[in-house]
Amino acid sequence: MLDGYDVLLRDGGIAHLRRLRPGDREALHELVDRSSERSAYLRFFTGGRATAHAYMDRVTGPEWAGHALVATVRDRLVAVAEYIPAGDGSADLAILLDDAVHGNGLGTLMLEHLAVNAAANGVRTLVADVLAENRPMINVLRDLGLDTTHEFAGGSLHMVVDARVTPRLRAEIEARDHAAERASLDRVLRPRSVAVIGASRDPSSVGHTALRNLVDGGFAGPVYPVNPSAGEIAGLTAYPSVLDAPGPVDLAIVAVPAQHVLRVTRDCAEAGVAGLIVLTSGFAEAGRPGAEVEILRVCRGAGIRLIGPNCLGVVNSHARLNASFLPVTPTEGRVGLVSQSGAVAAALLERLDVSMFVSVGNKADVSGNDLLEYWEDDPDTDVVALYLESFGNPRKFARIAGRVGRKKPILLVKSGRTGAGDRAVRSHTAAAATPDVAVDALVRASGVIRLDSVHELIDTARLLSTQPLPAGRRVAIVGNSGGPEAMAADACEAAGLSVPELPAGLIEARGNAAVGNPVDLTADASAAELGAAIEAAAGSDAVDAVLVVYTPPFGSGLEKTREAIAAAAAGSAKPVLACVVGHDGVIDGRVPSYAFPEQAIKALTQAARYAEWRERPLPEHEEPPAADVESAEEIVRAHLHENPDGGWLSPAAANRLLACYGVDVAEAVPVHDADAAAEAAGRVGLPAVLKVTGPVHKSDVGGVRLGLKTAADVRDAYQDMSARIGAEMTGAIVQRMLPAGVEIIVGGVNYPTFGPLVMVGMGGVTADLLADRAFRVPPVGAAAARELIGELRCAPLLYGYRGSPPADVEALSGQIARISRLLEDLPQVAELDLNPVIVTPDDAAAVDVRIRVAPAQAPPSPLLRRMR
């Protein structure tokens, strides 16, 4: 925990949690003095404040054997919670809160953190004796999410809390975190009053533009221009400081020079402002991260949420809030948009109708994760669109997106797809599992729709924000021009959509029209005929979506045809989208329209994939495979002790590490000369395999010899390898030749930012050549492992291809699940290759293992609610 971290409270406020320090003694006595006699009685039962004061002396003394957390709000210590181990796997639990912070969820939050900490330190049960009249404490313990029992003893309840993490605890923590996030952003995104600090009379200035946007946009609440040198701006009374505003300020827009932002932030903290939008640049992006950190420190201490700095601002179309310096007023729509780039945002807002827009700029505080939480329940937002250059907390993003995506589609464009990071030596897995691949795996598992361009984001958002999801992949194509319709049909087939034959008599048309599918009504078709065909196709059970392809100006002309398309789509329960050749936009605010057929089909394909993901049942919880984690950690620690910068484990150490997780590895005997190799072959059995140690890719240097029938063959092979490879050869291993099977690679990497990633693919010498791979973010249980295997093009080889016996897929799935747990438990495992794992009808054994470890810190537990 080090110096602790900031946490969000139920009412949207911010507290700081950290370990108790001996220097907290005076603050603890002050907490007792501020507490009521009743609070002291409920906590200590007898003795009132005198007992409480004596206890505070003990917990800050050198002999105290407990674990304690304290919480501060606005730099005042307001709570202390502790557990004291009893030596039998149990620990006594207690908490004292300042009366002023009762009811804001702080007690629950501190107990969550204590319980997780206690479980990590081997505590099995937490015990609390609570007076029967102390209903709040009883309810907090019962509602925490852990299994709890109790019995009456005199006038108190003896409550026993099982410290083992439960699915209910995870769900409760997630729900409480979600509620706190929403509360913290509500006064920022739906403020009742706004101050513009740095408002100016100069029409070309950022401050003037932000003020005019607020006023011209029709914001209903008070707007306070702040400028010490002006008495009136844009017809509004101006004030020298935010502290002089005549009423409370929910949101402050800051447009002053960078050197004045910190002073303004302190004024906002004193004034009780809830949210700050810092438009000013010149901070971390300009090489001044320290100034940005100090601004955030002031905001956190005052309970202020910060957007920016270096941002365009915030728009809430439905609340008529334009708190930005955008040159245009965004059109009201159903898409919540986040952009880390101002230039990209400006381009998006010209073509996309939004419910809200947030320019996060440097993301010092508020990020895409926070806004996902807010928009999950926002009645004005149906689709979330993100343009990001970086992830602040990618694992948390995946967890939130996986939940939000079950309700609303999330679209993502992330820049920086190239650049895998440099390593002098790489395993097969590390070379393939680039950071961008990690992003793909992360978002795909969460149902996020990742797009390659801003243009695709606009196209897909228009469809998903105006039309229902398709129930399947069958598409009816209706239009007036055969060429573009044929292009649309080809695009459907290429994308995995189908263009089925329509039922006979479904479409009524003139004699020269083609009414199969595509339906070509010819260039002479009127708007009414086209509308009737759309309605008939949309009403058929044979299709799941209708694409209208119209080439203007034929038939009734552009405007009448657009009206007919909108009218025909109005009552449809299926998605209807249009390709009006040469024209992008939305018809009558209801039907997305695309200039070219391929655009429409790409958007529809994304909608179909998303609909399928949403229909999948949530994965059932699987207990992770058994493991000897303590021994595994000791193996890693020992290697890093001798090699502080990390490096490749020896074959023996790698095998021992895998054995801690029950990974099936073929016996391997390390040898360092030709005679030892021959002797080892006699022990493991013939025919034998000889593999060089040292080079990463053994086959590339002739470092693998298979099917050696005699000990003499093994001796000769060793001598030959040694002569050819030279000093790079640090030895070899001898194994028995296993029966033939399907060669699969199972691997993993651990990125400091993204965490672990599991890879499965076609193995052996073809691993890089064929690049048949699939990736998944742990945890990967046996069921998820089977899905992962099924994504491979080579998967049929495992299930009895062309008469061959089926391989033991269950054994392979078990290997993958064990590697998944190893990577989660041991962040120091930077790279891991099992290549190949030979999968036979009876087994799945790894015959070649490479593991690289590097110094790494364990990521914070997802159960510990905390701000970035």
Asked if residue 1 has pLDDT above 60, the reply is no
Give the pLDDT mean for 682-687.
Answer: 90
- Written as six digits, the tokens of 385 are 């669109």
Chain center to CA of 611: 20
| CATH number belonging to domain 667-736 | 3.30.1490.20
CA angle 318, 324, 330 (to 5 degrees): 45
Give the pLDDT mean for 506-524.
Answer: 85
Give the gyration radius of the chain's Cα atoms: 32
Q: Is there a common fold for 185-463 and 469-615?
A: yes
Distance CA 440, CA 773 (A): 13
Asked if residue 422 has pLDDT above 50, the reply is no
- How would you label 748-766 residue by residue, b for 16+ Cβ within 10 Å and e otherwise? bbbbeebbbbbbbbbbbee
Per domain, the residue ranges of the chain are: 5-165, 185-463, 469-615, 667-736, 742-853
Topology, domain 742-853: D-amino Acid Aminotransferase; Chain A, domain 1 (3.30.470)
Among 290, 285, 273, 419, which Cα is nearest to 341's? 285
Give, rounded to a whole angstrom, the gap between the first and last alpha carbons of the chain.
13
- Written as six digits, the tokens of 254 are 């800051």
Asked if residue 424 has pLDDT above 50, the reply is no
Give the pLDDT mean for 392-400.
Answer: 86
Distance CA 71, CA 107 (A): 10
Amino acid at 252: A
Query: Does 191 sit behind a cis peptide bond, omega within 30 degrees of 0 on the bond before it?
Result: no
Asked if residue 397 has pLDDT above 50, the reply is yes
User: What is the model's pLDDT at position 512?
Assistant: 74
Percent of the chain topping pLDDT 70: 97
Amino acid at 259: Q
Chain center to CA of 165: 22
pLDDT tier at 726, thresholds 50, 70, 90: confident
Topology, domain 469-615: Rossmann fold (3.40.50)
Better pLDDT: 748 or 152? 748
pLDDT tier at 743, thresholds 50, 70, 90: very high
Give the pLDDT mean for 454-460.
Answer: 96
Q: Which pairs from 495-504 meet CB under 8 Å and 24+ separation?
A: 495/601, 495/602, 495/605, 496/605, 497/473, 497/601, 497/604, 497/605, 497/608, 498/473, 498/474, 499/474, 499/475, 500/474, 500/542, 500/543, 502/476, 502/537, 502/540, 502/542, 502/543, 503/540, 503/542
Q: Residue 133, SS3? A: coil
Q: Do residues 480 and 551 touch, judged by C-beta distance below 8 A?
A: yes
Q: Which residues contact 84 (CB under 8 A, 6 or more apart)?
A: 65, 66, 67, 91, 92
Among 240, 244, 242, 241, which Cα is nearest to 231's? 240
- Alpha helices by DSSP H, listed for 685-795, are 711-725, 767-770, 782-790
- Alpha helices by DSSP H, listed for 467-547, are 482-495, 527-538
Asked if residue 473 has pLDDT above 80, the reply is yes
**Digit-coded pLDDT (tens) for 205-231:** 999 999 999 999 999 999 999 999 999
User: What is the model's pLDDT at position 421?
Assistant: 40
Cα distances from 747 to residues 316, 429, 693, 818, 842, in angstroms, run 46, 6, 19, 11, 21
**Digit-coded pLDDT (tens) for 610-641:** 999 999 988 777 888 999 999 999 999 999 99
Whether pTM exceeds 0.85:
yes
Percent of the chain topping pLDDT 90: 75
Residue 474: strand pairing partners: 498
pLDDT tier at 803, thresholds 50, 70, 90: confident
Asked if residue 576 has pLDDT above 90, the reply is yes
Q: Do residues 554 and 524 touch, judged by C-beta distance below 8 A?
A: yes
**Digit-coded pLDDT (tens) for 258-308:** 999 999 999 999 999 999 999 999 999 999 999 999 999 999 999 999 999
Strands 148-153 and 125-131: unpaired
Among 396, 610, 581, 401, which Cα is nearest to 479's? 581
Among 237, 228, 231, which Cα is nearest to 197's? 228
DSSP 241: S
Q: Do residues 126 and 85 touch, judged by C-beta distance below 8 A?
A: no
Asked if residue 425 has pLDDT above 70, the reply is no
- When the pLDDT of each residue in the chain is averaged and rounded to a whole number, the result is 92
| CATH number belonging to domain 5-165 | 3.40.630.30
Give the pLDDT mean for 602-606.
Answer: 98
Distance CA 91, CA 226 (A): 55
**Digit-coded pLDDT (tens) for 645-668:** 999 999 889 999 999 999 999 888
Strands 704-708 and 755-762: unpaired
Give the pLDDT mean for 33-62.
Answer: 85
Chain center to CA of 288: 28
pLDDT tier at 418, thresholds 50, 70, 90: low
- How would you label 206-219 residue by residue, b for 16+ Cβ within 10 Å and e otherwise? bbbbbbbbbbebeb
Better pLDDT: 429 or 75? 75
Q: Which of 16-30, 584-598, 652-666, 725-739 has the lowest mean pLDDT?
A: 725-739
Residue 635: CB atoms within 10 Å: 20
| CATH number belonging to domain 185-463 | 3.40.50.720
Exposed / middle / buried, residue 83 (Cβ in 10 Å: 0-12, 13-18, 19+): buried
**Digit-coded pLDDT (tens) for 314-363:** 999 999 999 999 998 899 999 999 999 988 999 899 999 999 999 999 99
Q: Which uninterrupted H or E stretch holds 401?
A: helix 394-404
Asked if residue 120 has pLDDT above 90, the reply is no
User: What is the model's pLDDT at position 862?
Assistant: 87
Better pLDDT: 605 or 445? 605
